[in-house]
Structure 1
């Protein structure tokens, strides 16, 4: 199972994570979507301050940070380097400790090592370790960070078994000793490993690591603590941190290349593993610590890194075979193959030309600022920006009993990021603003609502189709606060090819379209973005591949180094889901087609209403769902309807080409009257789909030799759509980049409906 798939596990209300590197695009659109789709909504991440600041400088503040999850910075003497995922639920929990950052390569494409321990109502053996992990988060929580403190309090309050568990860093699971090792005041990972081994004679040592000291001092310190056993070094096949001369200074050492590790293929080595083979047991350590002084010797409050690893004792002589390291250790790497790393990638935490802005928290109308250490605060001014980066406030904070604060005017736009202009002339990188009320509201998951259940169902859909549309129609803005009834849960079971009754295929009413626009006019667009409709938008984009996905299903030999408890449920693969899906019938396909025709006709009527805006946040997403459901049901040009595709391209009564033409004609009229004057990403995504749909309908009509008057009408709609979109882009100053990227994704996703490769550029 890929690591990113692990976040689809059920039964957890909270997820606490640490990381060194952080990719907000991957996190927001992969990890966050997975967690929230399973009802896990109390989410907080602690990342290395300097690495996070570098990301904030390069890409700006993450869109969902401060609203759907809390993003905290942490600075230590070296690097804040642990990779921990602690998930907590009413009756159980899961602890994952490894080498994987919250980035695309970390989640999927690197060769990583991740160990997992689970707690269930029936098996609480590992509970003390999860309690110790929770204490680790408390230890690294900034006392001045109320958002992190509240996230921890919510997690503890909703996890009754945690309060009944005494934290311990070492337990015995099914006769096997297992421990959580982190940096402590008295020493680092190497010293803790030595204490765990407890005097056993170590005969040989295997160390797998992508990064090392140039002097190999960290390795030498570990060997000395373990009695100087012979050692095998498994290094990255392409780049290393030491030269041949340094290696030759080691006694009783062998060198091996990562290319011989099981199932690594072309992936980059990022796993960190130490196997100490003793007389009494084999000891297997895996986690975040590289074979460096900073990684192995770092102390809490002292020099070096913050790190986290899991270690277990195994039967003597069993670990090498279990981990599949035999082939790697029988083939030595020629010293001539050593190549010094071309640049510093060892995680030194350098932040040259990056100015930290500190920490920001919005509590009601009061913005609290915690200045960064070592920067002048008196005389600083702060500019606040909304989700789109538009400045909404600028002013000087005032020192009060609560620290530095800015009082915002009632009714002002909600700030999402802040930039500090220091009195010495330095300007900080943008920092996310933690909105306490939004974090509290979005974290509520003790009693999953009807909306949460529906979103979980939608996330399992393989495509944006009639079933997803039907489930989306069941979502109402107030449903999040309404627990699902038995009838609701029964309705969710009516999926795929079961009988399509009238009450199972609702349509949006004029009032619903109008209500969305009114709520956004009142300042609710940000609320919509971070509510159920925003979740729908994330799911749609994932289905289109608008967010990068890495690799195919794969299992690392090092991905389950240490296990304990009962394995948690995980998201089924697409292949497994498709196999479990009942076969479609032609009768049901015709029923779906009929309902889609009715839905399109009704939506056309609604769009004629004078106060319905197609580009309002909610309406644009609803229209995307409808258009994509039609495209999913559409037969390719020249193909007759069947069980999988019930809409013909030419049948006048149920022609998807004509349906799109009618719908896009109304969209063009709606765009002309739209008062949406700021095209954000969501608006551009909708415009791209409108342009694609109008272009596709026109192109297929010509190729299918449809009635000449119909073909000409569709060509006219296509031209009018292109003109309307261009006017919108010109009037709002929006970039074509997002539009082009979305068009390319649509063209690829629906390539089977047309043979014109350049259609998306029409």
Structure 2
């Protein structure tokens, strides 16, 4: 099969790939477009740390999208990091691809590789248990010290409910086709070779071995031959490639060499397979492990490398025939060992030198750079330099901040460019290799699930809408219901061997939630760089509602533009139907492996049907009042349960904008004429117990009034060190609504009554949300309040300038030394 075609299969939201070497052009041109085109947007690559440095040091072209659309992390061990796995997970099942192929052009579309797939559903099965075993193995490799990849892991767990309940395979399992299988990886005793041999419980007649690389003394093969005692050890080789140690073949009495001949001529055999044939079965080991002691180990040595393999027990000759090896292993293909050339070892990649060149790990959230220096680096003797996606230095200033969890932190200022890479400048003038900077806020925006049918139906209700109405709350209900499993993301967990203990033993960064008061006390003040956005809802479907609210107000989200630019960078990727024998040349020449997909156009008939449906759902005054009351009850209930979070804040903002859209200025004072109003404007300004100022006041009292205001139980994730934009947008909306209510076009008597009830709530709202004068008058707050005035002031009979002045007056008064907050 064509390995790269499999990445176009739908049904998965996450793909974790492991590899020894990486070619960023190949991954970003062949793999990533297919994954994202199939709806798999949460993508993680784990590579050998030294080979990652090698790729960033010139062995590969620089990545265009790493750290923004996917993460890349390096893994270091006693040997090389060598597994080649693709673990794909979705809400309805998972898939494990165990391969011999690296994430390189030759591995994906050039070499002769061996690949096996295992697919499971949500129910318990042998396949599922194998996939859980692979998940546990990969979970050990994930760097929990890096916030970006740890968040991706938690995002995966939250959206894969079956993953949290599944059971791992402790030994071989029976698959649905009644054959046996086992996931064999390093990290446990004994080594892979010994565990493979233990699974074979019948006499072996022939041992078949395919491997591109070997021990110089064939120690691993000798162990298997002695342990299994086959009548023949058949070794498939390419005599034209001097990688086999002919001098060591005498150590194995049963050994016989076979010439590949014209079998898949022109393609380097990079596949690795060991097949132990018995009278009735083929016991197969395939995956990443070469036939070396570093990979497979022996009876007394477990090996050095990180490897991952799949064991299958199949009917005899099934594998031989499937791989078309029957002719290759015929007697006329035998090779006289004396005719072979001496083994020629390739030039070793200077792994130790590459390790010394690595600067460490970098992450960026909004305007804060975090750096975890490599062990050999003295942070006091180097200067950090940031570079853009083209590898060009960014002219900026890095100001030290307080360190966290052994990471150095810097405030980035003087630029609006987001860093793509970082490197170190040493005192003697030389520079380190590059490291990828994971831009956490950009990744959060890019990692989202493909919309389900229910989501599409909900969002279709908003398509073409130009005003906030109760339909928003229905959409929020649908989206929150679809994300009900996300509650588990609060406390990241890993899958245990038995479904009972749900704690996380990995020692990773538990980004706990803080009460709003705790968060505000420890927050870092907001910067004036409004171009950088920080959305706590990023990666959540409900964030789409935030975008809709901002669109109504004419506010542009720069982060959305950036995400779109990243997506456009995939547009020139490769055609799904093509294959090439020379993948490197194809990439160099710009050959295409992917095609753009055009979204289906909505018909005029569909749009008209949608408009009619929207008209039918225009809310009455009673419905809006009931919705506001219902939201207040929901908030108090979630407050009592300790579940009040950023989604409730978004719901508050949506409800306030719905009320504003439904507000009417009332008749012109001193005139018999009534002010014009639309059919949406059903809430009067006075002479009604449910006038819009009091509907707003009752709702905001739940959040900010009384002895136990809900905001005191609002929880914010501690992963944010600044107040996220979506929270500030809600607070600014609250400020505007309070000022609008207290400056409503009403009689003097009504104005006094409104101020009597809403004045104390307004003071508490200001003091409990953004407790500094600078933040309350910040550019982001003022901009949103101005947008609210532009949208709603005229229809509500408000003087926009007066609303702005009243806001500033209250801010100044509360900033006076005598002001105290007493609850």
TM-score when normalising by structure 1: 0.59
1:175 to 169, 174, 178: 178
Q: Which residue of 2 aligns with 1:115?
A: 116
Tell me if the contact between 1:239 and 1:340 (Cα under 8 Å) persists in the aligned partners.
no
Residues 302 and 195 (structure 1 numbering): CA distance in 2 closer, same or farther, change over 3 Å?
A: closer
SS of 2:33's partner is helix
Shift of 1:216: 1.0
For residues 339 and 75 of structure 2, what CA distance do their matches in structure 1 show? 38
Distance 2:304 2:350 in 1: 10
Within the alignment, does 1:421 sit opposite 2:425 as a pair?
Answer: yes
> Relative to structure 2, which stretch is displaced further, 337-346 or 53-62?
337-346
Q: Which moved more, 1:274-283 or 1:16-25?
A: 274-283
C-alpha spacing 1:374/1:200, structure 2 compared with 1 (3 Å)? farther
Q: Secondary structure at the match of 1:165?
A: coil
| Matching residue of 1:4 | 4
Matches for 1:671-750 after TM superposition, within 5 Å: none
Asked if 1:132 corresponds to 2:162, the answer is no
Counterpart check, 1:21 vs 2:21: yes
SS in 2 for 1:31: helix
For structure 1, which segment, 431-440 or 333-342, has the greater mean C-alpha deviation from structure 2 after superposition?
333-342
Q: Could you tell me whether the CA contact under 8 Å between 2:5 and 2:576 is conserved in 1? A: no
- Alpha-carbon distance, 1:44 to partner: 0.3
8 Å Cα contact 1:239-1:338 kept in structure 2: no
Q: How much has 1:148 moved relative to structure 2?
A: 1.8
**What's the CA shift for 1:77?**
1.3
Alignment of 1:199-598 (within 5 A): 199-227=201-229, 230-259=232-261, 261=263, 264-279=264-279, 281-297=281-297, 304-316=304-316, 318-330=318-330, 331-340=333-342, 342-344=344-346, 349=351, 351=353, 355-392=357-394, 393=396, 395=398, 400-403=403-406, 404-409=408-413, 412-422=416-426, 427-445=431-449, 447=451, 524=558, 528=561, 530-531=563-564, 534-542=566-574, 550-551=580-581
User: Contact 1:156–1:162 at 8 Å: present in 2 too?
Assistant: yes
Residues 9-29 of structure 1 show CA distances to partners (whole Å, capped at 9, x for unaligned) of: 011111111011111011112
Please state whether the residue corresponding to 2:275 is helix, strand or coil. strand
Larger Rg: 2
Contact 1:381 1:397 in 2 (8 A): no
Question: Partners of 2:271 and 2:425 in 1: how far apart?
Answer: 40
- The one of the two structures with greater contact order (alpha-carbon pairs below 8 A, sep at least 6) is 1
In structure 2, the CA distance between the partners of 1:450 and 1:439, relative to structure 1 (3 Å rule), is: farther
Superposed CA deviations along residues 166-220 of structure 1, whole A, max 9, x for unmatched, are 11153201221101110123132112212222x4322321100011111111211
More displaced, 128-137 or 220-229? 220-229
d(CA) in 1 for partners of 2:123, 2:294: 39
- Is the 1:215–1:242 Cα contact (8 Å) retained in structure 2? no
Please state whether the residue corresponding to 1:187 is helix, strand or coil: coil
C-alpha distance in 2, partners of 1:277/1:346? 35
CA distances 1:467-522 after superposition (whole Å, capped 9, x unpaired): xxxxxxx9xxxxxxx999xxxxxxxxxxxxxxxxxxxxxxxxxxxxxx9xx99xx9
> What's the CA shift string for 1:213-242, capped at 9, x where partnerless?
111112112323334653111123422334
1:146 aligns with 2:147: yes
Q: Conserved in 2, the CA contact under 8 Å of 1:202 and 1:276? A: yes
Deviations 1:655-713 (A, max 9, x none): xxxxxxxxxxxxxxxxxxxxxxxxxxxxxxxxxxxxxxxxxxxxxxxxxxxxxxxxxxx
Aligned twin of 1:664 = none
Structure 1 residues 249 and 6, CA, compared in 2 at 3 Å: closer, same or farther? same
Q: Is the CA contact (8 Å cut-off) linking 2:207 and 2:234 kept in structure 1?
A: yes
Q: 1:353 to 1:15 in 2, by over 3 A?
A: closer
Give a deviation string over 1:440-464, Cα, whole Å, max 9, x none.
11111153599999xxxxxxxxxxx
What's the CA shift for 1:362? 1.1
Question: How many angstroms does 1:95 deviate by?
Answer: 0.5
State the TM-score, normalized to the length of structure 2. 0.54
Is the CA contact (8 Å cut-off) linking 1:61 and 1:431 kept in structure 2? no
Moved more, 232-241 or 71-80: 232-241
Tell me the CA shift for residue 315 of structure 1.
Answer: 2.5
CA distance in 2, matches of 1:346, 1:190: 25
Whether the 8 Å CA contact 1:200–1:280 is kept in 2: the answer is no
Post-superposition offset of 1:338 = 2.5
Partners of 2:147 and 2:318 in 1: how far apart?
Answer: 47
Distance (whole Å) between structure 2 residues aligned to residue 229 and residue 377 of structure 1: 60
Aligned to 1:471: none
Provide Cα deviations, 1:703-761, integer angstroms capped at 9, x if missing partner.
Answer: xxxxxxxxxxxxxxxxxxxxxxxxxxxxxxxxxxxxxxxxxxxxxxxxxxxxxxxxxxx
- RMSD over aligned Cα atoms: 3.8
State how far apart, in whole Å, the 2-side matches of 1:203 and 1:535 are. 54
Q: Does the CA contact (< 8 Å) of 1:83 and 1:287 recur in 2?
A: yes
C-alpha separation in 1, matches of 2:155 and 2:317: 44
Offset, 1:300: 14
Contact residue 362 and residue 438 of structure 2 kept, 8 A: yes
Q: Following the alignment from structure 2 to structure 1, what is the Cα–Cα distance between the partners of residues 71 and 341?
A: 40
1:122–1:385 distance in 2 versus 1, CA, 3 Å: same
Within 5 Å, give how 1:626-705 maps onto structure 2: none
Q: 1:394/1:78 Cα in 2 relative to 1: closer, same or farther (>3 Å)?
A: farther
- Counterpart CA distance in 1 for 2:404 and 2:301 is 28
CA–CA distance in structure 1, aligned partners of residues 430 and 76 of structure 2:
20
CA distance in structure 1 between the aligned counterparts of 2:320 and 2:7, rounded to whole angstroms: 29
The reply on whether 1:194 has 2:197 as its aligned counterpart is: yes
CA 1:350–1:451: 2 relative to 1, 3 Å: farther
For structure 1, which segment, 56-65 or 32-41, has the greater mean C-alpha deviation from structure 2 after superposition?
56-65
- Offset of residue 364 of structure 1: 2.9
Q: CA deviation at 1:426?
A: 5.0
Question: How far is the alpha carbon of 1:317 from its aligned partner?
Answer: 5.2
Alpha-carbon separation, structure 1, partners of 2:445 and 2:347 = 39
Change (3 A) 1:298 1:433: farther
Q: Does the 8 Å CA contact 2:222/2:251 hold for their aligned counterparts?
A: no
* Structure 1: distance between partners of 2:433 and 2:456: 35
Question: CA–CA distance in 2 between the matches of 1:541 and 1:186?
Answer: 43
Structure 1 residue 337 displacement after superposition: 4.6
* Per-residue deviation, residues 601-622 of structure 1 (Å, max 9, x unmatched): xxxxxxxxxxxxxxxxxxxxxx
- Indicate if the aligned counterparts of 1:42 and 1:69 stay in contact, CA closer than 8 A: yes
Question: 2: CA distance between counterparts of 1:189 and 1:305?
Answer: 11
Counterpart of 2:54? Answer: 54
Q: Is the 8 A contact 2:34 2:594 kept in 1?
A: no
Cα contact 1:210–1:240 (8 A) shared by 2: no
Shift of 1:293: 1.1
Q: Specify the SS of the correspondent of 1:28.
A: helix
Please report how far the alpha carbon of residue 530 of structure 1 lies from its aligned counterpart in structure 2 after TM superposition: 3.8
> For residues 387-441 of structure 1, what are the alpha-carbon distances to aligned partners after superposition, in whole Å with 9 as ceiling and x for unaligned?
2333223658667233211122286421110001245765211111011111111
Q: Secondary structure at the match of 2:384?
A: strand
In 1, the alpha carbon distance for the partners of 2:260 and 2:316 equals 24
User: Using a 3 Å threshold, how does the CA distance of structure 1 residues 483 and 49 change in structure 2: closer, same or farther?
Assistant: farther
Q: CA deviation at 1:247?
A: 1.9
| 1:740 paired residue number | none
Contact 1:33 1:535 in 2 (8 A): no
Runs (5+) with no aligned partner, structure 1: 454-473, 475-481, 485-514, 554-572, 578-762
Go from structure 1 to structure 2 and tell me whether the alpha carbon gap of 1:299 and 1:74 turns closer, same or farther (over 3 Å shift): farther
1:725 paired residue number: none
- 3-state SS of paired residue (1:283): strand
